[in-house]
Amino acid sequence: MPSFEEPQTPYKVLILGGSYAGLAAAVNLVDFCHGRKNRFSIDEADNGTGKFIPVQVTIVDPRDGYYHLIGQPLALSSQKFAEAFWTKYTDLAALQTAEIRTVQGSIETVDCASKTATITTSKGPIHEAYDYLITATGLQREYPSSPRSLTREKYLAEAAENLANVRNASKGVVVIGGGAVGIEIAAEINMLHPHIPVTLVHSRTRLLSSESLPDEFAAKALEILQSNKINTVLGARVVDISEPQQTTPDEKPEYTVTLSTGSTLVASHVINAVSRFTPTAPSFLPAAICDEQGYIRIEPTLEFPNDGSVPNAGDHYAAGDVARWTGIKRAGAAMHQGHYAAKNIHQKMMSKVYGTTPEFVELAEVEPGMGLALGKTAVGYFPSMGLSSGEETREMFFQGDLGFMICWKWMQLGTPMPKAIGTDSETAAEAEAETAQL
């Protein structure tokens, strides 16, 4: 007779990073372990396993809540959206279950051999043992691509300051950097504050010059910006920004922006949106696990590579922006990867507890594609769909809130975690019916 592990001791799963990839992994993993159909499953024949596995998920993040990063260009121009986009983990209904714990702190080191991690918190270091680890710490992005603050209260103060800077920019706003972030920031200011002149400066002659996307995509984005009266200056680098000139305390400061072409722009506010980011993993994981750029090398199953770089590679996963995979880094991909990491970990647990044969899912290669919000409209390019633009494209990719509710509903963050199958007389069919209503 084969002997399987007793399912009484909860499996400890440590998730580093509580954003799209980390949260998708956490909530789907609890669904799996509860034995019901998991929330990302689109398989109509899927009824879940009906088998319970005790699990204890710990999510570590320096922030005190989930931040809808995609919405950052909109949050810079709107206090209403800024308030909506940051939700404390303690206010996320889906996480309010005994099986999920959040720790506000930053991962310092991971010891793959002993399967322990050291987390720095305001109350001192925590040493956390785990059975499985999912790294979902994304990229270290600088403001304005990402907020500076780590708590909701400080973030809202930061957002109010950002908004005041835009709202009071009677001489206009100069946005530096014609990548996706700079373009979206310029477009959102233009939409929400139409009386403020906006200039977008990009060093190359083509917008989105660092993205492997078709020229038609960049040309369409430029056409839409210009049709919205956003001044676009291409092929010019910013070589100097003067100290703010202000002759009286009541007067609004004024900057002179000097370009490599010799011409100058005057503005009340300058936003440097030149993309600056660094991968987060090399600061806490062995270098051998990262590629030359610092992304975590993964197998198609999202496990760390099984090439002897680290011990217990198969118990370690990476998902989202922190992982090296094909395609442009996107929140949709991050959620998908978090889901797959959870699914594969659950397969391993099922095998240990119930003796099932694991069936692992693997990531498919991804061609570059992107949706770009341009105020009231959007432009999109995906190989399967081709180029699209207009209000329908905006509705499909972003709706009216830069995709906030799309992500929120997909992860079901506002819905309390259903009970496990078999507890309080819940059946697989009841659980499925509940899930279908969400």
Ligand X SMILES: Cc1cc2nc3c(=O)[nH]c(=O)nc-3n(C[C@H](O)[C@H](O)[C@H](O)COP(=O)(O)OP(=O)(O)OC[C@H]3O[C@@H](n4cnc5c(N)ncnc54)[C@H](O)[C@@H]3O)c2cc1C
- Residue 352: CB minimum distance to ligand X, A: 27
Of residues 22 and 35, the one with the C-beta less far from ligand X: 22
Residue 328 CB, nearest approach to ligand X (Å): 8
Nearer to ligand X, 73 or 418 (CB): 73
Which residues in this chain contact ligand X in the complex, by CB under 6 A?
A: 16-22, 60-63, 69-70, 72-73, 106-107, 136-139, 141, 145-146, 181, 280, 320-322, 329-332, 334, 371, 403
- Quick one: tokens of 301? 């199953």
**φ, ψ at 394 (rounded to 5°):** -65, -40
**Closer to ligand X at the Cβ: 49 or 190?**
190
DSSP 79-112: HHHHHHHEEEGGG-GGG-STTEEEEESEEEEEET
What is the nearest approach in angstroms of ligand X to the Cβ of residue 28?
14
Residues β-bridged to residue 14: 58, 133
CB of 320 to ligand X, least distance (A): 2
**Residue 149 token pair:** 């603050």
Dist. CA 324–CA 296, nearest whole Å = 6
Residues 109/112/115/117 CA torsion (nearest 10 deg): 10
Residue 295, token pair as written in the block: 């992304």
Q: Which is nearer to ligand X, 41 or 102 (CB)?
A: 102
Q: Which amino acid is residue 190, in one-letter code?
A: N
CB of 66 to ligand X, least distance (A): 7
Token reading at 384:
């399967």
Smallest distance, Å, CB 104 to ligand X?
A: 9
Q: How far apart are CA 257 and CA 174, in angstroms?
A: 8
61 beta partners? 104
CB atoms within 10 A of CB 212: 10
Minimal CB distance residue for ligand X: 320
CA–CA distance, 60 with 110 (Å, rounded to integer): 13
Residues 6+ apart with CB under 8 A from 80: none
Task: Give the integer Cα–Cα distance in Å for 139 and 292.
Answer: 15
> Please, how many CA atoms are within 13 Å of residue 292, restricted to the half-sphere of its CB?
0
Q: 163, 42 in Cβ contact below 8 A?
A: no
Alpha-carbon distance of 327 to 211, in angstroms, equals: 10
In the complex with ligand X, the residue whose CB is nearer, 50 or 368, is 368
Minimum Å gap between C-beta 233 and ligand X is 21
For ligand X, give the closer residue by CB, 56 or 109: 109
Among residues 52 and 382, whose Cβ is nearest to ligand X? Answer: 382
Provide the minimum distance between the beta carbon of 223 and ligand X in the complex, in angstroms, as a whole number.
19
Nearer to ligand X, 70 or 298 (CB): 70
